[in-house]
Amino acid sequence: MKKYFVLIVISFFISQIGYTQLGWIKIECGGEFSIALRSDSTLWSWGFNGNGQLGINNTLTQMTPIKVDSTHNWKDISAGAFHCLAIKSDGTMWSWGLNSNGQLGNGNTSQSLVPIQIGSSIQWKSIAAGQAHNLALTTDSSLYAWGFNFSGDVGDCTNTDKNIPVAIMQNKKWISIAAGGVHSMAIDSKFQLWTWGDNSISQLGDTIINQTSTPRKIGNDSNWLSVSAGYAFSTAIKRNHSLWSWGFNGNGQLGQGTLATLVVPTQIGLDLNWDKIIAGGSYVFAIKQDSSLWAWGYNGMGQLGTGNTIQKLNPTNVGIDKKWIAVAAATGFAYNSSLYGLHSLALSKDKNVICSSGANYAGQLGNGSTIDKQNFDCNTGFINSLNEAAIIKKQKLIIYPNPATDQIKFAINKQGVKLQNIRIYNASGCMVLYQNTNYTLFTYSVSSLPKGIYFVEIQSEKGEVFREKFVRE
């Protein structure tokens, strides 16, 4: 009888081998939390949640990713210091989290623990969340802004906070937007650069003003391609793929090899192969056209992923891999004269996993701990791809990472459910592990197992039995 049971189990497992893995398509770092969009259009968040910025209808910190809601129609995301913006596939825009300056755009200043729709428009195309203000583009390339406006961050010729989106320079069309700590940036359809808001540390790239509440064109160039705003500095890429920076530089975030503030846009080096630029609160990432990852600026928590906490004054290659497709740096925010926002996420093109580095005191790395990382850890628990059999086919057993090379973790896809009996079989049906546990998360070292396909059977504390396969590579 035991022989037939093993054959039945193996038959079941083999029938599941054909699943496809879901990937992550966008990542964002808030001040002390993270949010990510999966290829099945679901939304996941983790980290600090004191203002409801995770969107999960409570204010409890989450150490591992949790699904924001049950829908499968999210299209784009952006994270501010303590709030989030998102666009659904139907073109509607949503927000949640802190709302003290009207940054949720819903007409009031009450925080929301769950996503709420902003207005009734179905024409939203892209979004950019800053510390407490936001920019957004519509499908006809019109620009809107709202939220904190003390320094003219919104760009509507006033210094009054706005709790609904307001149109900015309606006579222009726009292609790229960025919201920083208290300043804003945009590139128009003629590839001209415009900035507005606070300029106390030259973050606008203008030599004349301290702040402006209306967009001002910077220089006469008509070859700007994309922009990214830090807390009090700015970065951009031109159409020839050169890299530029200006503003505050106390931690080397301008990448110029010095700590000197720059008043006007200044090129970083001579390379003409930059593809993406991502500014955090006090540090920067960039990806070249060969998919190599580079970083510079403040590194006190290891957020640059370079394996140490030494700040970098020049672009520094993060490892030797040329595999990166996306990276996210934390939105900076000031509190008691200190700057926060010190963790990072990255997506690798050869694995459907999110890698994380930097500060982790609020679980913002998503690996179930509060231990900081000084390099990009690509085996961070639930952040790794969950297989389609577990999610789409409604099976409850989650295995990650899968495939695994070192450690593998098992959990039931239901919060708080403990694992009891764990059995692992090899492809021949021989049991290689039997373990009694009483944990919600079980970690097992597979380094001693031969490479190949294995099958796991787990019984929960409620007597439910779950089966799935994993690969040791």
pLDDT score of 413 more than 80: no
| Lowest mean pLDDT segment, chosen from 152-166, 307-321, 393-407 | 393-407
Residue 22 confidence (pLDDT): 61
pLDDT score of 146 more than 70: yes
Residue 13 confidence (pLDDT): 39
Average of pLDDT values for 5-9?
A: 40
Tokens in use for 144? 């809107």
Q: Which of 3-12, 65-74, 284-293, 329-338 has the highest mean pLDDT?
A: 284-293
Average of pLDDT values for 322-343?
A: 90
Q: What is the DSSP string of 298-332?
A: --TTSTT-BSS---EEEEEEEEEEE-EEEEEEPPP
With residue 179 as reference, give the H or E element that holds it.
Answer: strand 174-179
Cis peptide before 403 (omega within 30 of 0): yes
pLDDT score of 467 more than 50: yes
User: What are the φ/ψ torsions at residue 13 (nearest 5 degrees)?
Assistant: -65, -45
Of 276, 312, 268, nearest to 293 by C-alpha is 276
For residue 236, the Cα-to-chain-centroid distance in whole angstroms is 20
> Do residues 33 and 68 lie in contact, with contact meaning Cβ atoms separated by under 8 Å?
no
Tokens in use for 366? 């998503």
Q: What share of the chain is helix, strand, coil (3-state, %, to 5)?
A: 5, 50, 45
Cis peptide before 401 (omega within 30 of 0): yes
| Lowest mean pLDDT segment, chosen from 139-153, 271-285, 412-426 | 412-426
Average of pLDDT values for 101-109?
A: 98
Band of residue 50 on the pLDDT scale cut at 50, 70, 90: very high
Band of residue 388 on the pLDDT scale cut at 50, 70, 90: very low
Band of residue 349 on the pLDDT scale cut at 50, 70, 90: confident
Name beta bridge partners: 357: 344
Q: Which residue has the higher pLDDT, 466 or 21?
A: 466
pLDDT score of 65 more than 80: yes
Residue 203 confidence (pLDDT): 98
CATH value of 24-383 in 1.10.1040.10, 3.30.930.10, 2.130.10.30, 3.30.365.10:
2.130.10.30
| Mean pLDDT over each residue of the chain, to the nearest integer | 88
CATH value of 2-17+387-472 in 2.60.40.3080, 3.20.20.80, 3.90.550.10, 3.30.70.20:
2.60.40.3080
Average of pLDDT values for 369-377?
A: 91
Residue 59 confidence (pLDDT): 96
For residue 379, the Cα-to-chain-centroid distance in whole angstroms is 16
Of 290, 253, 277, 362, nearest to 327 by C-alpha is 277
Q: Which residue has the higher pLDDT, 129 or 65?
A: 129
pLDDT digits (tens, 9 = 90+) for 168-225: 999 999 999 999 999 999 999 999 999 999 999 999 999 888 999 999 999 999 999 9
pLDDT score of 63 more than 70: yes
Band of residue 244 on the pLDDT scale cut at 50, 70, 90: very high
pLDDT score of 416 more than 80: no
pLDDT score of 116 more than 90: yes
Residue 399 confidence (pLDDT): 82
Q: Where are the domains of the chain?
A: 2-17+387-472, 24-383
Residues 6 or more apart from 461 whose CB is under 8 A from it? 417, 418, 419, 420, 438
Average of pLDDT values for 395-408?
A: 78
